[in-house]
Amino acid sequence: MTNNILEKKIFNYDVIFDIKGAIFIKQNRLLVISDLHLGKSLSINSLGYSLPMHDFSDTLYNLKKIIKEYKPSKVISLGDNFHDKNSIIRFNHESICELNSITKIAEFIWIYGNHDKELINKEKINGNFMKSFREKELIFTHEKKNDKSDQFEFSGHFHPKTYVSVNNSRFYYKCFVLGKNFCILPSFGSYTGGLDVKSNIFRKIIRNNANLIILGKKKIKQSKYLYDSN
């Protein structure tokens, strides 16, 4: 095993957690990612700001790289795939071609998120758009919903991050939150921030024992989620 992946058994599935912020389920060759937020800089700039617009190409570069590495049969993107409902309208022809050059490599399932549930012009993008997806006991959805013991749910939405303390400094890293019956994925998109797992919002969500799988610069590592820690 390299420092870049961590392998776990979830139900009867062999699941790889990749340092790049994706999950690969070996038996059914599913690659799972979340919160690409494609078109975020374009969306913000449409409000009068002047952000550099490199996020789209950078996110697609990372997505293409991980698809080529794992060669999945299916890619499941867990929502907030596009930053707002007008994102595809703002993309130029080259951007749509660039995205579709990736979506034709594998079958794509686009789960709707709160940002893109009313997405316009989705027919220009390859793949199936749906509210949630299920494969046997595995559920794929945008926002964590339940803790049923006979199911395992993958979701995104919260963009989890956590810090590692070194001397008096805190260094923040994206992380997976892994519970007994759920996993919340970090955001995959290049211009996406994160929500501290120690925040009150997360404290309410992670009521049971959970682990964090932290995406360091060179190493992926697991640590216990400490509910009461400040």
Closest CB to Fe ion among residues 81, 95: 81
Closest CB to Fe ion among residues 6, 184: 184
With tokens 């590592």, the residue in question is 221
Instruction: List binders of Fe ion among 69-108 (CB under 5 A).
Output: 80
Q: Closest approach of Cβ 158 to Fe ion, in Å?
A: 8
Closest CB to Fe ion among residues 191, 225: 191
Closest CB to Fe ion among residues 80, 153: 80
For Fe ion, the binding residue among 25, 33, 35, 74 (CB under 5 A) is 35
Q: Closest approach of Cβ 79 to Fe ion, in Å?
A: 7
Q: How far apart are CA 67 and CA 106, in angstroms?
A: 8
18 binds Fe ion (CB under 5 A): no
Closest CB to Fe ion among residues 6, 82: 82
Number of residues that bind Fe ion (CB under 5 A): 2
Instruction: List binders of Fe ion among 161-220 (CB under 5 A).
Output: none
Closest CB to Fe ion among residues 80, 84: 80
Question: Which segment (6-14, 34-42, 133-141, 196-204) binds Fe ion by CB under 5 A?
Answer: 34-42
Q: How far apart are CA 188 and CA 36, in angstroms?
A: 5
Q: Closest approach of Cβ 159 to Fe ion, in Å?
A: 6
Tell me which residue of 81, 44, 72, 45 sits closest to 157, measured CA to CA: 81
Written as one string, the DSSP assignment of the chain is --TTEEEEEETTEEEEEETTTEEEETTTTEEEE----BTHHHHHHTTT------HHHHHHHHHHHHHHHH--SEEEE-S--BSSTTHHHHS-HHHHHHHHHHHTTSEEEEE--TTTTT-SSGGGS-SEEES-EEETTEEE-SS-----TT-EEEE-SS-EEEEEEETTEEEEEEEEEE-SSEEEPPP-STT---EETTSHHHHHH--S--EEEEE-SS-EEEEE--TT--
Q: Closest approach of Cβ 167 to Fe ion, in Å?
A: 32
Q: Closest approach of Cβ 2 to Fe ion, in Å?
A: 28
Q: Which residue is nearest to Fe ion (CB)?
A: 80
Q: Closest approach of Cβ 84 to Fe ion, in Å?
A: 11
Closest CB to Fe ion among residues 6, 38: 38
- Interacting residues toward Fe ion by CB under 5 A: 35, 80
